[in-house]
Amino acid sequence: MLCTVTQVEETKQMTKMIPILITTLIPSTLIVQSTTLFVKQGTMLDRRMGPHFDIPPACLTAFTTIFMLISIVVYDLAFVPMIRRYTKNPRGITLLQRLGIGLVLHIAIMVTACLAERKRLRVARENNLFGRHDTIPLTIFILLPQFALAGIADNFVEIAKLEFFYDQAPEGMKSLGTSYFTTSLGLGSFLSTFLLSIVANITQRHGHKGWVLDNLNISRLDNYYMFMAVLSLINFLCFLAVAKLFVYNVDVRQDKSSLMMNPASSQNSPRTSKSTPE
């Protein structure tokens, strides 16, 4: 059955976003760490607040949400108006530039998590605490920076992903564009499990203890975090190459915003083409 020209063009618009989708899988795996390994770290630390209250480790994920909300307000009310003066872009920066900043923050998250874990392991060795249920005499708030950075990164990565896939999808396929966002999260979760299993199995070969064990006090989770940081760096470089080649579709709302900001230029400027390079 023959397809119309419109159907072909819409399919091409959806297909050209697939490379961007692929480069968002690694960031999605890092999101999983904040609700799994980061929380597991917290169970091995001193969680006391006062004589009668212990902080539940999973509560630290609330700081991710708090910092994300704060960063969204700062981004929209301070950063965008300031940077818009130089870029003349109604959004301040392009969606892919916003996503790229988030990818850099993800590298910083894993490096920060690695340093925190190395400090925790050093304190465990100094106090000869190697038991599976031994609590390290180190406050749980040492993990706060990585949770805070995760919230700030979500402001850039997750919001940019959702807006990018929705805006760049053709009018008749907006729901499919939104599904790209959820696909990224779903595949990222599977990829996270796959990577963790592969690393755990490989590092236990030839009689080695392994990086990821049930007992975190004898594991080398810091090495795993550094591995994820390197993987994120490689993914970021791939993203730069893909983003450089990507050609935006016309965003009607952005076009109207530009005309409202520069009404005089609309009378003299030529008609907007169907696509504009980044």
Angle (CA) 231-277-5 rounded to 5° is: 105
Centre a 10 Å sphere on the Cβ of residue 157 and count the other Cβ atoms it contains: 25
Centre a 10 Å sphere on the Cβ of residue 184 and count the other Cβ atoms it contains: 25
Q: pLDDT for 86-140, tens place per residue?
A: 888 888 888 899 999 999 999 999 999 999 999 999 998 888 888 878 888 888 8
Listed residue (30, 39, 29, 27) closest to 63, CA to CA: 39
Share of the chain above pLDDT 90, in %: 34
User: What confidence category does residue 265 fall into, taking pLDDT thresholds of 50, 70 and 90?
Assistant: very low
Residue with the two structure tokens 């929705």: 166
The per-residue pLDDT for 250 is: 64
86/98 Cα distance (integer angstroms): 16
Listed residue (10, 17, 277, 16) closest to 165, CA to CA: 17
**Which is higher by pLDDT, 77 or 266?**
77
Q: According to the 3-state scheme, what is the secondary structure of the chain?
A: CCCCHHHHHHHHHHHCCHHHHHHCHHHHHHHHHCCCHHHHHHHCEECECCCCCECCHHHHHHHHHHHHHHHHHHHHHHHHHHHHHHHCCCCCCCHHHHHHHHHHHHHHHHHHHHHHHHHHHHHHHHCCCCCCCCCEEEEHHHHHHHHHHHHHHHHHHHHHHHHHHHHHCCHHHHHHHHHHHHHHHHHHHHHHHHHHHHHHHHHCHHHCCCCCCCCHHHCCHHHHHHHHHHHHHHHHHHHHHHHHHCEEECCHHHHHHHHHHCCCHHHHCCCCCCEEEC
Lowest mean pLDDT among 47-56, 241-250, 269-278: 269-278
99/218 Cα distance (integer angstroms): 36
- Is the per-residue pLDDT at 276 higher than 50? no
Q: pLDDT for 51-85, tens place per residue?
A: 778 888 888 889 999 999 999 999 999 999 899 88
- Is the per-residue pLDDT at 22 higher than 70? yes
Q: What is the mean pLDDT of residues 35-50?
A: 85
**Which is higher by pLDDT, 6 or 99?**
99
CATH of span 29-249: 1.20.1250.20
Q: What is the mean pLDDT of residues 209-236?
A: 89
12/175 Cα distance (integer angstroms): 16
Q: What does the block give as tokens for 108? A: 């910083």
107/117 Cα distance (integer angstroms): 16
Q: pLDDT for 47-60, tens place per residue?
A: 887 777 888 888 88
The per-residue pLDDT for 151 is: 92
Q: Are 120 and 225 in contact, with CB atoms under 8 Å apart?
A: no
Listed residue (231, 226, 236) closest to 110, CA to CA: 226
The residues facing 249 across adjacent strands are 275
Mean pLDDT of the chain: 83
- Is the per-residue pLDDT at 273 higher than 50? no
Question: Per-residue b/e over 96-134, b at no fewer than 16 CB within 10 Å?
Answer: bbbbbbbbebbbbbbbbbbbbbbebbeebeeeeeeeeee
Q: What does the block give as tokens for 183? A: 């696909």
